[in-house]
Structure 1
Amino acid sequence: MLVSESQLLRAWRTVAFVGHFSRVESLSSRGTNKILAYHSVGGGFHDDIDPDRLRRDIAYLDRHYELVDLPAVRRPSDEKRVALIFEDGYRDFAENVVPVLREYDVPATVFVIADAIGDPSFTHNDRFEYEYMDREDLLALLDEDLVTIGNHTRTHPKLAEVPPDRLEREIVGAKRRLERVLGVEVDRFSYPYNSCTDRAAAVVRESHDIGVAGRGRREHISAETNPEVIPQVNGANPFWEVRWDLSDAGTFVGSLADRLVGRAV
């Protein structure tokens, strides 16, 4: 019987609910480093969460994990590591996220859409009236020791749907434009919509040090993880679900489910 994506998601959330509230998630807390991804924080855009929710999230994470810069999730440590990323480069990052990062002294990577810089009319879809950080906002971030700017393509397409002859423009062209505008090296990449193909990953591997994609429930992040396709967890989900997705138990159940159903949950 063919199982739909929505059915898989409902099943996963049922497992997460039971796993969290039964305290199974607390049985182990070592070995499964994670990347926690957010989008809008108080801006009203995609996956928006309240700034107070972000503050509570980081306060909890700071107590229970080692919060590290993105490359460190692939390095061995005695503590479980979590890295924070923020995608799309909304203006609310500068307004609402940076103060919380400073408060807890936590590093983060913000992934920026290159064509949104200097073009007030740009929008990567018609779901919201997006407000992106402009050149001045991004240049100000360069003075923030806790923040690293990454590449989120030129126009935010699903890379699996981009013709091969456009992949270089979307990935490498965006990197070059960001580096030209900001005057710094940009070596981190995030796949829009978590859409990744072998061809896209090959372009990222040749042009960036790190690429982030996927739901992040199913595999341990370690030195053996492919650096061009490191999995992530959605931080905008209910926090009980986030805690389950971060847990060793959640990773184990997710990988087992993958093997049973033949695809990612």
Structure 2
Amino acid sequence: MPAEPWLLMYHSVTHCTEDPYRVTVAPDRLRRQLRWLKSRGLRGVGIAELLRERAAGRGSRLVGLTFDDGYADFTENAVPLLREHGFTATVFVLPGRLGGDNAWDPLGPRKPLLTEEGVRNAAVAGMEIGSHGMRHVSLPDADEATLLAETAHSRKLLREITDRPVEGYCYAYGDVDARALDAVRGAGYSYACAIDPGPLTGPYALPRIHIGNEDTALRLTVKRLLHPFRRRGMPDAPRAGVAR
């Protein structure tokens, strides 16, 4: 089994003409990307499932699919396509902004975020619900009270909304340092996703690769081939002794 699991990072799935942060993938493009994965014998799953399967010595054909920010279009556009292909995913949501919009982005269009009902609907559809913090705050810059709210309190709220364990955390902006990592681990998460965490790479700073609307079959093939050379090796399972 490859040492480096392939974790793909999506955000919004909709039609959009203005996309300065490259966070939007059109539904038709997502369908083609998922079809590309399936045609190669790969199956997209949420991160908790991916880590469990790898810990059991399986999972070599699994790809982790993540959707950051919890946009309302996740249930509207992404979930039907995921289910069409027999895939699942992890959606990282912001319980402090439910029913709001992406106010943290100074540029680009305002996009609605999932409501409580939307989060529950995603969970019922078989998707993993993870925390993206309360309000999309960079943890390395946060004071102690904010750090606690973004990690532990957001997990508590999501567990109350879904009535399910909340295993995963995702660092806003991909920002992570040792203090933030310790706070996430101390809040009881089993894993956390970053982007390019460098020497912090591990179960609480999983690297991911950005997938955008420009990623055709050829670009996906190149990204897949280059992946083992871009990522450091990481353990197959979360560290023991972490409460869920």
C-alpha distance 99-121 of structure 1, shift in aligned 2 (>3 A) = closer
The AA in structure 2 aligned to 1:246 is R
1:258 aligns with none
Q: Structure 1 residues 122 and 246 mapped into 2: Cα distance closer, same or farther (>3 Å)? A: closer
Q: Given the alignment of the two structures, is residue 60 of structure 1 paired with residue 41 of structure 2, yes or no?
A: no
Structure with greater proportional helix content: 1
Check the 8 A contact 2:44/2:89 in 1, yes or no: no
Pairwise mapping of residues 90-101 of structure 1 onto structure 2 (< 5 A)?
90-101=71-82
The one-letter code of the counterpart of 1:125 is D
Distance in 2 of aligned mates of 1:122 and 1:50: 18
Give percent identity, aligned residues only.
Answer: 26
Task: Describe the shift of the 1:31–1:185 C-alpha distance in structure 2 as closer, same or farther (beyond 3 A).
Answer: closer
Note the residue ranges of structure 2 that are not aligned, 5 or more in a row. 233-244
Q: 1:238 to 1:70 in 2, by over 3 A?
A: same
Which secondary structure state, in structure 2, belongs to the residue aligned with residue 137 of structure 1?
Answer: helix
**Kept in 2: contact 1:31–1:80 (CA 8 A):** no
1:241 and 1:159, CA in 2 relative to 1: closer, same or farther beyond 3 A?
farther
TM-score of the aligned structures, taking structure 1 as reference length? 0.73
On the 8 A contact 2:43/2:87 being kept in 1, the answer is no
Residue of structure 1 equivalent to 2:106: 126
CA RMSD of aligned residues (A): 2.6
What TM-score do the two structures reach when normalised by structure 2?
A: 0.79
Q: Is the 8 A contact 1:32 1:80 kept in 2?
A: no
Q: Is the 8 A contact 1:213 1:232 kept in 2?
A: yes
Rg bigger for which structure? 1
CA distance change for structure 1 residues 43 and 201 in 2, over 3 Å: closer, same or farther? farther
| Mapping 1:27-176, distance limit 5 Å | 30-42=2-14, 44=16, 47-64=23-40, 65-74=42-51, 75=54, 76-77=57-58, 79-118=60-99, 120=100, 123-127=103-107, 128-145=109-126, 147-176=127-156
**How do residues 176-191 of structure 1 correspond to structure 2 at under 5 angstroms?**
176-191=156-171
Distance 2:145 2:94 in 1: 19
The runs of at least 4 consecutive aligned structure 1 residues that moved more than 6 Å come to: none
Q: Is the 8 A contact 1:37 1:234 kept in 2?
A: yes
CA contact (8 A) 2:27 2:78 kept: yes
Which ranges in structure 1 are unaligned for 5 or more consecutive residues? 1-28, 220-224, 256-265
Query: Distance between the aligned counterparts of 1:253 and 1:230, measured in 2?
Result: 13
For the Cα contact (< 8 Å) 2:45–2:90, is it kept in 1?
A: no
Q: Which residue of 1 aligns with 2:240?
A: none
| Corresponding residue pairs, total | 218
Task: Assess if the C-alpha contact under 8 Å between 1:66 and 1:79 holds in 2.
Answer: no
CA contact under 8 A between 1:160 and 1:195: conserved in structure 2? yes
Task: Report the CA distance shift for 1:243/1:164 in structure 2 as closer, same or farther (over 3 A).
Answer: farther
CA 1:79 to 1:122, structure 2 compared with 1: closer, same or farther past 3 Å? closer
Is 1:246 the counterpart of 2:224? The answer is: yes
Cα deviation for residue 142 of structure 1 reads 2.6
